[in-house]
């Protein structure tokens, strides 16, 4: 994980999160620290980093594709995949 240690320390965070829940809680603390800036985003991914969302999809059991016999079919609209994207 790459992050600005000073920004996290300013928000009162002294350790790297060990769980997804801890990560989200830390992002909430950072967002609160910068709440006066309406354009601030606590989890910024530069450029077109669409693949970064895959971990959220996989974490809830979704996927982009699934094998159906000998063919692959899109699976990004399954309940699980959409749940990960919403997360």
Token couple for 72: 């692959």
Rounded to whole angstroms, what are the CA distances from 45 to 12, 23, 41, 53? 22, 15, 9, 10
> Does the model's pTM come out above 0.75?
no
Report the chain's mean pLDDT, rounded to a whole number.
88
**CA–CA distances in Å: residue 33 to residues 21, 22, 43, 45, 80:** 19, 17, 13, 19, 32
Residue 31 confidence (pLDDT): 94
């Amino acid at each position: 994980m790459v992050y600005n240690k000073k920004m996290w320390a300013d928000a009162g965070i002294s350790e790297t999160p060990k769980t997804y829940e801890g990560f989200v809680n830390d992002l909430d603390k950072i967002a609160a620290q910068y709440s006066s800036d309406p354009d601030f985003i606590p989890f910024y991914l530069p450029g077109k980093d669409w693949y970064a969302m895959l971990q959220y999809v996989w974490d809830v059991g979704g996927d982009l594709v699934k094998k159906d016999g000998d063919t692959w079919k899109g699976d990004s609209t399954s309940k699980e995949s959409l749940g990960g994207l919403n997360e």
